[in-house]
Amino acid sequence: METIKSILNFSFSFSDKVHISVKTILVLIVTIIITNIILKLIRRLVNKRLAEEDKGKFSSVFSFLKYFVYILVFIITLQSSGIEVSVLLAGSAALLVGLGLGLQTLFQDIISGIFIFIDKALRVNDIIEIDGKVGRVFEIKLRTTRAVTVDDRVLVIPNHKFLTHSLYNWTQNGKKTTESIDIGVAYGSDVEKVKEILIEVAKNHPQVLKFKKPDVLFMDFGDSALIFRLLFTVNNSFLQLKIKSDLRFEIDKKFRENNITIPFPQRDVHMYKKIE
């Protein structure tokens, strides 16, 4: 028994004020094991009450929070064992400051990820636009969000950007979105014929929704052209670039068939000869 006591009381000395005994190490190990078991039970109980789509989000947040619990348990256990934790923290203050500065952006990403999970501002399959880039979200993690662009490239977005930049969620109010194309035609064109052709072209495209009739707005009298805007509704905004391209090809074809000209910018240059 005395041998066991002597082994348990044997301490490792790191400085004049910091001593850690074998008993403290064993208590720390047991405490962490118990904490781990309790956390697993809590995770299982909460998962049973969550909807299937929320389980993945909770797991990401829980994985982050459990490390704070471990750190807290670690500090409390050491403090309860008579170890001056403040001495350890003071000795590593410079290291902690440097580490904190280096991890600042990481924590911003993680906190932003938690906010995304909580308020559900972003979901998988949402089509978003940020920093001029458009993509369909296919994965939301605690630190980053991943989206695939129209040219099949993966866009990795740090989550803090959703708090510090303007985010356009094209599908927040539903998958149907109204798109537009601006067209200029030459002065003297039959504007009613232009409107008829634009509406016909939009109606005939298979991916333009039929329940909401396309519309044409006469936008302005431009410097070199009459400006019209074609409005139409699609149910897959991710393909809007392809749909707009198809419509432009067809509009150009129909305009040629009906002798409607799409003008290029023109300027009148007047030259004056100086008479001496």
Three-class DSSP labels, 28-79: HHHHHHHHHHHHHHHHHHHHHHCCHHHHHHHHHHHHHHHHHHHHHHHHHHHH
SS3 letters across 41-53: HHHHHHHHHCCHH
Q: What is the token pair recorded at 97?
A: 């400051």
Reported pTM:
0.57
Look at residue 56 in the predicted model and tell me its pLDDT.
63
Q: What does the alpha-carbon distance between residue 245 and residue 239 come to, in Å, rounded to a whole number?
A: 10
Among 59-68, 94-103, 117-126, 164-173, whose mean pLDDT is lowest?
94-103
Q: What does the alpha-carbon distance between residue 202 and residue 195 come to, in Å, rounded to a whole number?
A: 11
Count other C-beta atoms under 10 Å from residue 131's C-beta: 10
Range picked from 29-33, 144-148, 153-157, 199-203 for highest mean pLDDT: 199-203
Looking at the DSSP bridge assignments, the partners of residue 218 are 228
Q: What is the token pair recorded at 232?
A: 């139409």
Give 45's pLDDT tier (boundaries 50, 70, 90): confident
Nearest-CA neighbor of 184 among 147, 155, 218?
A: 218
Residue 17 to residues 14, 27, 75, 85, 91, Cα–Cα distance (Å): 8, 20, 16, 10, 11
Locate the domains of the chain by residue range.
2-91, 120-169, 177-257
Orientation of helix 52-80 relative to helix 22-49, angle to 10°? 160
Cα angle vertex 171, ends 165, 176, to 5°? 145
Phi, psi (degrees; rounded to nearest 5) at 142: -70, -35
Q: What is the token pair recorded at 124?
A: 């998988």
Residue predicted with more confidence, 14 or 104: 104
CATH of span 120-169: 2.30.30.60
- Checking if the pLDDT of 145 tops 80, the result is yes
CATH of span 177-257: 3.30.70.100
Amino acid at 153: R
Contact 137, 122 (CB under 8 A): yes
Look at residue 199 in the predicted model and tell me its pLDDT.
94
Mean pLDDT rounded to a whole number for the chain: 79
Q: What is the token pair recorded at 160?
A: 């803090």
Looking at the DSSP bridge assignments, the partners of residue 216 are 230
Give 172's pLDDT tier (boundaries 50, 70, 90): confident
Asked, colleague to colleague, whether 120-169 and 177-257 share their fold, the answer is: no
- Checking if the pLDDT of 19 tops 70, the result is no
Contact 142, 61 (CB under 8 A): yes
Going through 54-153 in order, the beta strands assigned E by DSSP cover 127-130, 133-140, 144-149
